[in-house]
Structure formats: C-alpha cells, structure tokens
Amino acid sequence: MKIAIFGKRRQSTEDVIHITSLLERLSSKGVFICIDRNFFDAMHRLTGTPLNADDVFEDDDFCADICISIGGDGTFLRTARRVAAKEIPIIGFNTGHLGFLTEHSISEAPDLVVKLINGDYTVESRSLLEGKGIGGKVKAGVSGWGFALNEIAILRQDTASMITVNAMLDGMPVASYQGDGLIVSTPTGSTAYNLSVGGPIVQPTAPCWVLSPIAPHSLTMRPLVVADSHVIDISVESRTDTYRVTLDGRSLILPIDVRLRLRRASFVTKVIHTDDHNFIDTLRTKLLWGISKRGE
C-alpha cells in the first residue's frame, strides 16, 4: 500500500510526537510513505530530523492508494485541491480547531493504521463546484484551480455600498440579491461560511447546492436549496468596477463585466470515514447538536 501525506506547516510539540508515531506505525506495517515537500521541510525544521519517508514529492507529481491530511479543515481543502481529479480517498487528522472535515484526532492516527491497511472504512463521494468566468477578459477558470469543495462566494469589493448579485438557474431568473454578497455552498460547505450567515446544515452527500445571501437588504431573501444538476449563472451590479470572488477562501478580483457560471464538477472528492464516525456524530461533537444544556 502507498499513502501520500499532506499537512500544515505549523504543528504543536505534542502533535509532532503523534505525527512521528503515525509514520513509524505505517512504516512498521510495510506501507510506502510519500510526503508533500512543503510538509516534509516544515517538519524537518521543527524537529531537526527528516521524517521517515520513502519518497518526497512536489505539486501533483504523486500517486497513492490513500491520502492523509494532517491539520485543520483548511489543510484538508488544500489536500483535496492537490488530489483533484485523481479521486484518491482522503482521511483527515485534526491538529487545528473545529474540524468538520478532519473528524479524527491526530492522537487516534497510529491506532487507525490497521483499519486503513485492511480497508476497514467507508468512502463518501463529495461534490465540488466548478466556477468559470464568462465575458470581459476572463475566458477560462476563475482562478488557478476553479473548483471548490466548500463554497464559492460573491462579495462586494472596496466599498461600503451593497452590491446586487443576479442569479439564474438554467437561464431562469431566481433572484437579485442586494446586500454584501451571495454564497453558493456545496453540502460539504454547509457547515462552513454558509452556516455563519444562517444557511441550513445539509447532509454532505445530498445532491444539492445552497444559495445563501450575505446581509441581505430585504427580509424576504432567505437561503435557497436547489438541485446540483442546475447550472447557475451569476452577474453582479455595483458602484465600483470590480467585485470579489472566493473559492474555499482563495480570493480574486473580477471586473464587473465578467459573469460567473457555476456547475457540478466532473469529479468528486472522496472522504474516508471509519465505522465509529458519521455526520450526525460530528454535529454532536462539534456543534453540540441536539444536546440539551437545561438541568434535569
């Protein structure tokens, strides 16, 4: 078995110990370990000793049976970008904060090695949004990698004035959202930016998108759930000549005459779950979902 490992560059002393233990356990089981160059170099600087690796790779020059992401949800999103259309299953070990995608603690990692090697896990397919710019000077992807596992957000830029985000589904007008912007969220991203603006929590495997306005100027504007089979066209009106688009936190500025076309990507991100973790359990542990704080 071959496992590719990605991770954030800053790790606590305690987490470094768990990471080293994980690699030792993988090696003892005969796993071929390949590590992302940035993570490898960062850990070398932290410990003064190179990690136990069979190979060190850069960019997308890797192949593996499983990918391990060590960090928070941001690290997991970056790992998903690196995996992209390879569709290699990813498991996340949390050394960050809340961690909806990285549902396992790094302290659990060494004990899960046998499950990974034996295939004792399930794999969920998560849909991604593909974003393209149309018109103006943008003809291809809206960034270097025009896909988002969590969300694509359309935001006002360099002004306190509201913007108007016009949304269409398969050419049919839906609404003109006046306010600070609009979030188009995947089911995976429903517990991210979407949740912070009052959007609904969605089961990660549901075939839908969520359109959630940001600080809408009208009380009638509410989050809308639509099928992910739709193509969403976006145009923006603003007092300025530009607006901001973010894809999972990666930000760029677009001219006002550039429209966006959002659709389901042709590939998925595969997320590994063990039998003792599921979406509802994650809601309970991360959001205290359904847990009463009232006295008996």
Residues marked active site are found at 73
Measured CA to CA, the distance from residue 145 to residue 133 in angstroms comes to 12
Structure tokens at 89: 């299953």
Helices 37-47 & 13-28, crossing angle to 10 degrees?
120
Q: Map tokens 């005969």 to a residue.
A: 30
Q: Which residues contact 269 (CB under 8 A, 6 or more apart)?
A: 80, 83, 87, 90, 125, 126, 128, 149, 188
Measured CA to CA, the distance from residue 179 to residue 164 in angstroms comes to 7
Distance of alpha carbon 159 from its chain centroid, rounded? 28
Measured CA to CA, the distance from residue 147 to residue 153 in angstroms comes to 12
DSSP assignment of 180-233: SEEEEE-SGGGGTHHHHTTPPP--TT-SEEEEEEES-SSTT---EEEETTS-EE
Cα 98 to Cα 31, 184, 228, 264, 286: the distances in Å are: 30, 22, 27, 27, 6
